[in-house]
Amino acid sequence: MEGKLMEDELFKAFTTYAMIVILKMMLMALLTVYYRLTRGAFMNEEDVARKPAEERKKLLRADSNVERVRRCHQNDLENVIPFVLIGLFYSLTGPELSAAVLHFRVFAGSRLFHTVAYVCALPQPCRGLSWMVGLFTTASMAYQVLSTVLTL
Amino acid sequence: MEGKLMEDELFKAFTTYAMIVILKMMLMALLTVYYRLTRGAFMNEEDVARKPAEERKKLLRADSNVERVRRCHQNDLENVIPFVLIGLFYSLTGPELSAAVLHFRVFAGSRLFHTVAYVCALPQPCRGLSWMVGLFTTASMAYQVLSTVLTL
Amino acid sequence: MEGKLMEDELFKAFTTYAMIVILKMMLMALLTVYYRLTRGAFMNEEDVARKPAEERKKLLRADSNVERVRRCHQNDLENVIPFVLIGLFYSLTGPELSAAVLHFRVFAGSRLFHTVAYVCALPQPCRGLSWMVGLFTTASMAYQVLSTVLTL
C-alpha cells in the first residue's frame, strides 16, 4: 500500500515540494532562537533564571528582529499548511503532471522569496506580491479540487 | 491510485467540507489586509515607507478590528487544521457515510457561525458555543479513530 | 480503500501517535479558557459584557499564566502539525516498523514533557531540550522521506 502512492510520479513531486516548504517553515523556529540568543530578548522567566538579577528584567523584552521572524513564521503557518493540505487533496484528484508541478514550483518559489523579503525587510511590494502569488497558487489548486469533487 | 480515493463517496464529502473550512480560514488573511488598509494599521516599517515621514509613526499601530480578525484567524488555525487532520484519519477508518457527513456539516456550520460571531462581536455565548460545537465534533471523530485503530 | 491503509500495522501506529499529539494540542485551548475564567483575563469586549461596568476594564487584560499557555499552544502548532504532515509522508514511504514507531514514541514523549515543562515553568534546559528532541525527530523523518522520494 505505502509503496503504491510513493511510486506515483505526481505524488513524489508533491511530497518533495511539500517537504521543502514545511522544512523552510520549521527553520523559522531556529532563526527565532538565534535572534533571541544574539539580541538577548526572551519571553519566559525560566529562560533568564541563570543571569544576574539586575540583567533579568532587561532580557525579558520584545526585540524588533525577533518579532519580525515570528511574524514570518506565523505567515508560514497561515499559508504553508493550507498549501500542504489542499495540495494533498489536489494530488489525489489526478491532475496533469506538468500543471501540478508548475503549481508546486511557483508556490515553493514564492514562499522562499517571501521569507527573504520578510526577514530582510525588502521594500514593498516584494513581500506583498510573493504572498499573493502563493495565495493564488493555493486557490488555483483548491478550485481544481472542488471542480473535480463536485462534478464526479 | 489517485482516482481510487477520490471515487469514494465519503472521501469526496470529506474533501468538499475540508476545502470549505480551509478556504474560509484563508479568507481571514484577506480580511486582515482589508482592515489594515482601510484602518491604516501596519506592523512593518517597509509597509509604510512611501508615506510622508510624519504619518509613518501613526500608521505603525495595532487596530482593534485588525486584532479581532487576527484572533479569529488564529482560532481557525487552532481548530480547522486539527479537524482536517483528524478528519483525514477518520475518513480512512471507513465510518458510516451519513454519520460522517453529519460530523463534517456540523463542524463547517459551527466554524462559519463562529467567524460571524467573532468578526461582528456578537454577544456571548454565540462565539463560545459555536467554538465548543466545533471542538466536540472534532473530538467525536477523534474518539472513533482511536477506538477503530486500537481495537483492530 | 479506506480499510486498506488502516489495516497496515505502521499506519495504525502513526494514526495512534498523531491522534495523541493533536488531542494534546487541542487540550491547550481548554487550558487557556480555564485560566481566562479563573484569573479573569479576557481579550474581547463581548466576553465581559455582562459584568458591572467598573469591572470590565480590569478584566480586559493579559495574564501571565494565560499568555504562557498560549505560547505553549503556539509552539504546538509550530511543531505538532509539521510532525503529523511529515509523518504522513514518512508512513507512506514504507519505513521499517520498529524504527518508525521509535520516531513516533520519542516525538510524542518529547511533546508531553515539553508541555509540562512550559506550563509549570520548569527550569531550563527542560523545555529547550524537549523542544529540540521533537524537532530532531521530525527532521529525521523528513530526511528519510526526501532520501526515499529523490532516489526512487
ipTM above 0.85, yes or no: yes
Checking if the pLDDT of C2 tops 70, the result is: no
State residue A6's pLDDT score: 79
Question: Which amino acid makes up residue A104?
Answer: F
The shortest C-alpha distance from C7 to chain B (Å) reads 8
Q: Which of B33, B29, B111 is nearest to B78 (CA)?
A: B111
Phi, psi of A121 (to 5 degrees): 55, 45
Band the pLDDT of B152: cuts 50, 70, 90: low
Cβ-in-10-Å burial (0-12, 13-18, 19+) of C62 comes to: exposed
Contact across the interface for C46 and B124, Cβ inside 8 Å: yes
The minimal CB distance from B89 to the residues C7, C15, C25 is found for C15
- The gap between the terminal CA atoms of chain B, to the nearest Å, is 24
3-state secondary structure of A74: helix
Instruction: Please spell the DSSP secondary structure of B33-88, one letter per residue.
Output: HHHHHHHT--S-GGGGTTS-HHHHHHHSS--HHHHHHHHHHHHHHHHHHHHHHHHH
- What whole-number percentage of chain A has pLDDT above 70? 97
Q: Are A48 and A55 in contact (CB under 8 A)?
A: yes
**Per-residue pLDDT tens digits for B65-103:** 899 999 999 999 999 999 999 999 999 998 999 999 999
Band the pLDDT of A82: cuts 50, 70, 90: very high
The shortest C-alpha distance from A65 to chain B (Å) reads 11
CA distances from A149 to B14, B16, B26 (A): 10, 7, 20
Handedness of CA A92, B107, C24, A138 (dihedral sign): positive
User: What mean pLDDT is predicted for residues B109-135?
Assistant: 93
Band the pLDDT of C56: cuts 50, 70, 90: confident
State residue B1's pLDDT score: 43
Checking if the pLDDT of A4 tops 80, the result is: no
User: Which chain B positions have a beta carbon within 8 Å of A5's beta carbon?
Assistant: 1
The minimal CB distance from A92 to the residues B2, B49, B81 is found for B2
Question: Which residue has cell 497558487?
Answer: A137
Supply the mean pLDDT for chain C: 91
Measured distance CA(A37)–CA(C5) in Å, rounded: 44
State residue A48's pLDDT score: 84
Minimal Cα distance from A15: which residue of C?
C89
CA dihedral (B144, B147, B149, C2) in degrees, to 10, reads -30
- What whole-number percentage of chain C has pLDDT above 90? 68
Question: Which residue has cell 487550558?
Answer: C31
**Per-residue pLDDT tens digits for B24-55:** 999 999 999 999 989 888 888 888 888 888 88
User: Which chain B positions have a beta carbon within 8 Å of C81's beta carbon?
Assistant: 81, 85
Measured distance CA(C40)–CA(B54) in Å, rounded: 39
The single-letter DSSP state of residue B124 is: T
User: Which chain B positions have a beta carbon within 8 Å of C84's beta carbon?
Assistant: 85
Q: By mean pLDDT, which of A115-119, B62-66, C15-19 is the weakest?
A: B62-66
Instruction: Please spell the DSSP secondary structure of chain C, one letter per residue.
Output: -HHHHHHSHHHHHHHHHHHHHHHHHHHHHHHHHHHHHHHT--S-GGGGTTS-HHHHHHHSS--HHHHHHHHHHHHHHHHHHHHHHHHHHHHHT---HHHHHHHHHHHHHHHHHHHHHHHTTPPTTHHHHHHHHHHHHHHHHHHHHHHHHHH-
User: What mean pLDDT is predicted for residues A120-135?
Assistant: 92
Q: Are A124 and B43 in contact (CB under 8 A)?
A: no
Q: Are C20 and C109 in contact (CB under 8 A)?
A: no
State residue B13's pLDDT score: 94
